[in-house]
Amino acid sequence: MNVPQTQLTWTTTPSPLGPLRLIARGDALAALIMDPPAAPPPGAEERAEHPALAAAVTQLDEYFAGTRQVFELPLAPQGTEFQRRVWAALQEIPYAETITYGALSRLLGDPLATRAVGLANGRNPIGLIIPCHRVIGQRGALTGYAGGVARKRWLLDHEAKFAGRAPVLPWG
């Protein structure tokens, strides 16, 4: 069954970080919400068997088991052109490695955009899959994460464990 592009579907899956709500728009994953509210997204249909949602659940399970380092999912994050550029750059950060906000802004060609990069990072609607947890403060501080700094630390430690090393500080 082909889902119209505007149709939202969702499912919730357990994880070591707590429940994760996955939302698809059409044929692509549009959001991952940690600690989701009890109420479903307005106008969305619960459909765990939706292809994008089922694939995301499978790949998240593999990630948490330590057998997946790269997500291969159709993604549809909604944001400004600048936000989408930042989110695309986040997907280039290697597994178990980190980059500073400043280094990321330089990679994007605007070394003065550190705050804007931080804001775009914080508005990432598909956190974890678009790995915004791999962005750290200038001196290695675990600053800001929509899911909470404790989860950011858990994710970085998890990746380091399965990569067989401590996170590289910084990448880029």
Which residues carry out catalysis?
Answer: 132
Beta pairing partners, 31: 23
Please, which residues have CB within 8 angstroms of residue 142's CB and are 6 or more apart in sequence?
136, 149, 152, 153, 156
Q: Is 68 helix (H, G, I), strand (E, B) or coil?
A: coil
Contact between residue 130 and residue 93 where contact means Cβ atoms under 8 Å apart:
no
Strands (E), 1-47: 8-13, 20-25, 28-34, 45-46
Residues facing 111 on adjacent strands: none
What are the backbone dihedrals phi and psi of residue 63, each rounded to the nearest 5 degrees, phi first?
-60, -50
Q: Which of 147, 146, 128, 140 is nearest to 90 (CA)?
A: 128
